[in-house]
Amino acid sequence: MSQSYSTFRILSRLAILCCVASGMLASVTHAQAPVFVITPETSTMKFFVKASVALEGTFDKWDSTLTFTSTDVSTGVLDIKIQAASVNSGSGMKDGKLKSKDFFDVEKDPLITFHSKSITQTGPTTFEVKGDFTIRGVTKSETLTLAVAGAGTGSGTITGTMAFDRKDYGMNSGIPFIKIADRVEVTVDMKVKRVSGPPIDLKK
């Protein structure tokens, strides 16, 4: 057997071992990352705008994911996708106006989204989530303030608020006979369950 052939076999075995080790490490790393499921069916996504006539409601169709690469809370990524056309204010007239090109423009931009860029723990059960908020095709940085109940138990509730100026996103119009403010407040109430992996390592 030539020396070059022996060297080739040794290098091949080393390559195979490296691949196996890499796969095992990836599996271990994945196993150590908690996996959460958010259930929209038992959660709510609400909005409120100060107005001369009550302007508040919910979005009936949306989904959200919360993923981590480790037990460190800062590795988390929160994604929220809302079907803008599912807006429900309890008034067909208001809903029609909100869906129009003056506001959500649902035909052109059907999704309202939030994609987190950072999660920072600010207290034993509170968090600041900064991310990209997109509505009407316009994306800006916004902050979602969250509080968690039931942390470490395997299931719990994440509640939070975010406020933004509607005119920053091109919603400059009003609603006939209704005086509305520029500030829009969004409230989330999400039911979360850890389906695998260890709990998040939170600061006390």
Of residues 204 and 113, more confidently modeled: 113
Q: Residue 93 sits in a domain of what CATH number? A: 2.40.128.110
Q: What pLDDT score does 6 carry? A: 52
Q: Residue 194 — very low, low, confident or very high, per pLDDT cuts 50/70/90?
A: very high
Looking at residue 156, its amino acid is G
Is 147 within a domain? yes
- 3 and 47, same domain (yes or no): no
- 110 and 11, same domain (yes or no): no
Is 201 within a domain? no
Is 204 within a domain? no
Query: What does pTM read for this prediction?
Result: 0.82
Is 64 within a domain? yes
Encode pLDDT of 5-64 as tens digits.
454 454 445 444 444 444 444 443 445 899 999 999 899 999 999 999 989 999 999 999
C-alpha–C-alpha distance, residues 125 and 86, integer Å: 31
- 80 and 142, same domain (yes or no): yes
Task: Give the 3-state secondary structure of residue 111.
Answer: strand
- 54 and 8, same domain (yes or no): no
Q: What pLDDT score does 151 carry? A: 82
- 10 and 110, same domain (yes or no): no
Is 202 within a domain? no
CA atoms within 13 A on the CB side of 113: 15
Q: What pLDDT score does 203 carry? A: 87
Of residues 66 and 20, more confidently modeled: 66
- 18 and 51, same domain (yes or no): no
Residue 79 is part of which domain span? Answer: 32-196
- 122 and 181, same domain (yes or no): yes
**Which tokens belong to 92?**
């067909």
Q: Lowest-pLDDT range, 21-25, 56-60, 131-135, 140-144?
A: 21-25
Q: Are 80 and 71 in contact (CB under 8 A)?
A: no
For the chain, percent of residues with pLDDT exceeding 70: 85
Per the structure, how many domains does the chain have?
A: 2
Is 50 within a domain? yes
- 115 and 127, same domain (yes or no): yes
Average pLDDT over every residue of 163-177: 93
Question: Above 50 in pLDDT, residue 178?
Answer: yes
Question: Above 90 in pLDDT, residue 126?
Answer: yes
C-alpha–C-alpha distance, residues 29 and 55, integer Å: 47
